[in-house]
Amino acid sequence: MDFKLTKEQELIQKAAREFAEKSIMPIAEQIDRDNFVPQEIFDEMGELGFFGLQFPEEDGGTGAGYSCYPLVVEQIARASSGVAMTFSVHSLGTSAIYTFGTPEQKARYMPDASSGKKLSSFAFTEPATGSDPKQITTTAVQDGDYYIINGTKRFISAADLDGPIVIFAKDDETGKPTAFIVDKNCPGYSVSEPWHKIGNRGGRLLDVYLKDVRVPAANLLGPKGNGYMVLQYGIAFGKVGVSSTALGGMQAALELSIKYAKEKAHRDSTIAKFPTTQVTIAKIAEKVEAARWLTYRLGYLAESTKDLREFAKEAALTKAFVTEAAVDVSRMAVAVHGSYGLMDDYKVSMIYRDAIIGEQIEGVNDMQRMIVAGNLLS
């Protein structure tokens, strides 16, 4: 068993850290305040090859493999969870196209998605349902070689940025969810203003309105009526990104806590001398390390898995543990900072707001546990 990164993985991780420290960290507060990531950030990530990390060269990717993906997302999230969230959801949509797409669909969408010229989205959630496939109301009615899609999708990442969006709708033949690849901003496609959410700001969520959107039948993703499979397994890959995003925030929380503890004076010493501070920082470190290795392992499994159902269980288990640990860690990091940790002036308060998001997105954590238990008890 070898936990050592290869030299290539080490260099990719280092490249991500240098990029994040140089280009994202100086504007992280601005991204949080404005709920907006400047396009130059995505352009630079594309030039560095980050968007195509986990995809093979023949599909426009770098061929570095999924194992490298958590290394990069973690470093970007260490600077800004908002940037990492957009990156993560882009990977979710692109992975779904890569995993379930036909050769023609991959040829059309993968190169631009892998290079970051186009950013992918993934749209299942609706105003009335977040996870239950039976409850979706978006419809797809066949009209010759096209489907006409109508409905509303809620909380969709990067819905206003050019690129493909994987949309789930009940088709009129099976009455079950079916996945379609739709070009964002096509006729009949419109979006709301971004939601003002508590954390991961910059990773913008919008509602998507679909009014008589005509989609070629060739854009069906996976078999008709099998949208649930695309959702279940596509989103399993998305959990690598969610876990890595949470991990990056945790690492930042640990670093900030150590720095603050060593600097915050109390009488003739610093608060690092307090046993309570020491215990808190040790607890933070325990969770960060446990989360790190679970997340890196999930990246490895995403690359090597032959059994999607087994992978979905591991993804659920990892996502639930890591995002919950991130909330614990950021809460403890705020505690190390005392009242200062509650202030916007201190980055740890942003990390706490960011961490809370992870537990709720891409399937709430209790649902992850249902997936794990369903697998273990079957």
Partner 1 sequence: MNIYVCVKQTVDLQQVRIRKETREPVLDGVPLTIGNIDKNALEEGVRLRDKLGGKVIGVSAGSEELNDTIKEALAMGADEAIMIIAPELEGAESSTVAMALAKAIEKTGEIGIILLGEGSSDNYSGQVGPRIAEILDLPQITYVSSLEAEGNTVKAVRNLEDCFETVEAEMPVVVSVVSEINEPRIPAVTQILKAGRKPKQIYSPAELGVEIAGSQIKTISNLAPEQDRKRLLFQEGVGQDVKSLVAALESEGLLGR
- Work out whether 68 is an interface residue with partner 1 (CB under 8 A): yes
* Minimum separation from the CB atom of position 63 to partner 1 (A): 6
* Minimum separation from the CB atom of position 76 to partner 1 (A): 13
Closer by beta carbon to partner 1, 63 or else 194: 63
Reduce the secondary structure of 217-240 to three states and give it as a string: HHHEECCCCCHHHHHHHHHHHHHH
Phi, psi of 165 (to 5 degrees): -130, 130
The answer to whether 10 is a known catalytic residue is: no
Q: Count CB atoms within 10 A of the CB of residue 99.
A: 16
Q: Which one among 31, 62, 359, 361 touches partner 1, defined by CB under 8 A? A: 62
Instruction: List binders of partner 1 among 75-134 (CB under 8 A).
Output: none
Closer by beta carbon to partner 1, 19 or else 352: 19
Q: Stretches 48-56, 148-156, 183-191, 329-337: which one binds partner 1 (CB under 8 A)?
A: 48-56
- Work out whether 288 is an interface residue with partner 1 (CB under 8 A): no
Kindly state the DSSP code that residue 339 receives in the 8-state scheme: G
- The CA distance from 373 to 362, in Å, is 18
Instruction: List binders of partner 1 among 211-270 (CB under 8 A).
Output: 268
- Work out whether 63 is an interface residue with partner 1 (CB under 8 A): yes
DSSP 260-284: HHHH-EETTEEGGGSHHHHHHHHHH
Q: Stretches 2-10, 33-41, 128-136, 174-182: which one binds partner 1 (CB under 8 A)?
A: 2-10
* Minimum separation from the CB atom of position 157 to partner 1 (A): 23
- Cβ distance 69 to 54 under 8 Å? yes
Q: Stretches 9-17, 99-107, 289-297, 318-326: which one binds partner 1 (CB under 8 A)?
A: 9-17
- The CA distance from 165 to 296, in Å, is 27
Closer by beta carbon to partner 1, 28 or else 166: 28
- Work out whether 50 is an interface residue with partner 1 (CB under 8 A): yes
- Work out whether 8 is an interface residue with partner 1 (CB under 8 A): yes
Per DSSP, what are the bridge partners of residue 181?
Answer: 166
Kindly state the DSSP code that residue 24 receives in the 8-state scheme: I
Closer by beta carbon to partner 1, 18 or else 143: 18
- The CA distance from 349 to 355, in Å, is 10
Rg (the chain; Cα; Å): 21
Continuous segment of H or E residues that includes residue 307: none
- The CA distance from 67 to 47, in Å, is 20
Q: Which residues are catalytic?
A: 362
Q: Which residues bind partner 1 (CB under 8 A)?
A: 7-8, 10-12, 14-15, 18-19, 22, 47-50, 52-53, 62-64, 68, 268
